[in-house]
Structure 1
């Protein structure tokens, strides 16, 4: 039972796939590169986007970033529970070609967790990310989860497209 006496909250799950023409090691080095992350945030990170922390040690990398969405661009279900802009803080930890991530959303009892893997496919690479969104708000939490999952999927697609372009320009 959930804390409110109802059935437990069931998170929304989704999967995102992206392909790159470059080898997996090159994709990894791009995705964790500080200059790449700063440029990506500047170009598609939204309002108040910033790289908050960045570390690389061998084939391990960790970074934390902030992204924002202007309140005027938010769906009604999200606007109804948020005062102002949507601010997401994301953390990614890479261990070789595998990643684990988490994100929180300001002012909302919500979190996103993810796991991903880069896999060589011929001369290219496939990135598969499995994620889960959980919003702990009775009655409307599930609706908000679906909106968040949809928006995160669009963001991941835009980030993959940005990475593919970055890689092609530097090949």
Structure 2
């Protein structure tokens, strides 16, 4: 079983400026320090041609987890590892994202597109969340999907505030 989630954000900034801020190592490190949770940081980072590839870690303290998620993880917090790869594609950028929760029966993966618009740029992220837990897996997928959108909203706001 899996669940799809989509996130969209627009900006008045041009696509190249938004992309540069999104993959800037210092902005990424600062963003993780502000909102990444316990143990957050950059695990790997590489500029690749006109793109970038990186792996980051987020931490979520158990007190901030929804009850349905706590039924699986208990009173321990969770660690999330996220891989992103971005490449130049025409007049914008295409990306892939993979999310792993080490030790948990959950994962997410998806595609991202940063495109120019007449007034600036638009970021679209589509993610498929899969939780392999009988009976309550669908509820956890729904909760994780909402949390992904909330996290992407905060990250996007933070990154755009740095432009």
Q: TM (normalized to structure 2)?
A: 0.94
Name 2:156's counterpart in structure 1. 160
**51, 71, 81: which is aligned to 1:80?**
71
- How large is the RMSD of aligned CA atoms in angstroms? 1.0
Count of paired positions: 158
Q: TM (normalized to structure 1)?
A: 0.89
In structure 2, the gaps of 5 or more residues are none
- Deviation string, structure 1 residues 77-113 (Cα, Å, up to 9, x no partner): 1111114101110000001111000001133111110
Name 1:13's counterpart in structure 2. 4
1:101 corresponds to 2:124: no
The 2-side partners of 1:91 and 1:63 are apart by 6
Q: What SS is found at the alignment partner of 2:73?
A: coil
Q: What SS is found at the alignment partner of 1:80?
A: helix
Quote the offset at 1:47 in angstroms.
1.6
Moved over 4 A (4+): none
Please tell me whether the aligned partners of residues 82 and 107 of structure 1 are also in contact (alpha carbons under 8 angstroms).
no
Q: Between Structure 1 and Structure 2, whose CA radius of gyration is higher? A: 1
Name 1:3's counterpart in structure 2. none
The 1-side partners of 2:151 and 2:69 are apart by 17
Name 1:5's counterpart in structure 2. none
Name 2:27's counterpart in structure 1. 36
